[in-house]
Structure 1
């Protein structure tokens, strides 16, 4: 699995220049500026374009008055999260390349609909035969499939009978699926129908965009130790880590 952030919400050049003409102290806090603008627009007599220039000193220039870490902007966002006024965090979006995940994970992931957009690699248009450009389908093997013995099943080797392991069963199933797909394609069956024999373990790639509110909700449901399957819990951590890299102030809200 690989997760790479492609893009995230930032100030436009015109608005950044507008701020620079009036105030330069807060230009390193772009994500928070956007969040603050949305939050304070709900409660302030100032116009949205004026929030940072007229209220920025108070929120970014003063320590948090709730006794917690950070600035008054951090305190305000904590208050908003606590009060569940989370629509104000929907203005921050993040776009990710999510690569080499299973179709099983994709099925779980796309159950999260509100605040998410997906563009997934198609098994209809991408040919997955052994002789195609793809070289056949790759697969994601669950970590729980290992060398445990399958009772009552053995196979012959040059050195005598050998017990089947869970790994042997999985690997054989992948080979059989590829062989079946190749045979169907050679019989003239279109890829969109031959894909019916491909397993949940087959890999796929996708581009995913989600807003901050949706990502916080996703993480709370899919994080490790919360009953989620291993790979989607791994994805939840990877998404969180990518967001924190570009917006460090969000870390406390994930944790």
Structure 2
């Protein structure tokens, strides 16, 4: 094959961490105590954030709900601002530039750092092939040929365009900016995202269910699996459902 296709991968590089000793010290200074009822670090951060609003700590002040029920009640009542205190940082690779163009439209609760095509040489770029093309041998061959021509054009621009009168740094930026114009949306990219639980819930609801957008569903489902390991109660009302083609989508329970 003339081109190299990328494999999707996602890794969590930062997750919620709770310093409960600091909280307990604060509560003691206020003459309060906290009746803990289980929950992960992320889930306890959400519970504490909710309880601080009313200083509802201690046997005489706390509701009988355990951590899981407390969070479920917050979500059912629409009081999701406390979920913004819980964040994950995830490194995505093997995703297409077309995908990231859509992803970065999500601004509230998200932060991004993406591989720059102005500074990174894409002469050996990988590419993301849609499943509908991959399973059609004839179509895939034609697609791969077009991708290869684009990559060849990129390499030609990099190797033949004369340097401008700019500084070396800016001349190289200008060159790669010109060259990247030949690359397709299927070009593989790498991006780090930091996102809070409330923003993720919105992302799962509006993106995880898009049956016609396989890459959004793929990323949404992977993120769902990862964050549920740390905070299942924050996403209890979502579930993965298998589609007829064997892929998955997210739906509200």
Instruction: Kindly provide the CA deviation profile for residues 186-237 of structure 1, in whole angstroms up to 9, marking residues without a partner as x.
Output: 113611221000000000001100000000110011124x445001101000
1:214 maps onto 2:225 in alignment: no
Could you list the runs of 5+ residues in structure 1 that have no partner in the other structure? 65-70, 130-135, 150-164
Maintained 8 Å contact 2:71/2:233: no
SS in 2 for 1:238: helix
CA RMSD of aligned residues (A): 2.7
TM-score of the two chains, using structure 1 as the length reference: 0.75
C-alpha displacement of 1:23:
7.0
Structure 2 vs 1, CA of residues 38 and 17 (structure 1 numbering), >3 Å: closer, same or farther?
closer
Residue 140 of structure 1, aligned match among 125, 128, 137: 128
Check 1:196–1:35 CA distance in 2 against 1; reply closer, same or farther (3 A cut).
Answer: same
The answer for the alignment partner of 1:101 in structure 2 is 95
> Structure 2 CA distance, aligned partners of 1:115 and 1:28?
23
Task: After TM superposition, list the pairs within 5 Å mapping 1:80-159 onto structure 2.
Answer: 80-129=74-123, 136-146=124-134, 148=136
- Relative to the length of structure 2, the TM-score reads 0.76
Shift of residue 8, structure 1, vs aligned partner = 1.6
5+ residue gaps, structure 2, are 1-7, 163-174, 240-253
User: Are the counterparts in 2 of residues 221 and 228 from structure 1 also a CA contact under 8 Å?
Assistant: no
String of CA shifts for 1:20-46, please: whole Å, max 9, x gaps: 99779667632222111221222x1x2
Q: 1:228 to 1:175 in 2, by over 3 A?
A: same
Q: Does 1:41 pair with 2:52?
A: yes
Residue in 1 that maps onto 2:10: 3
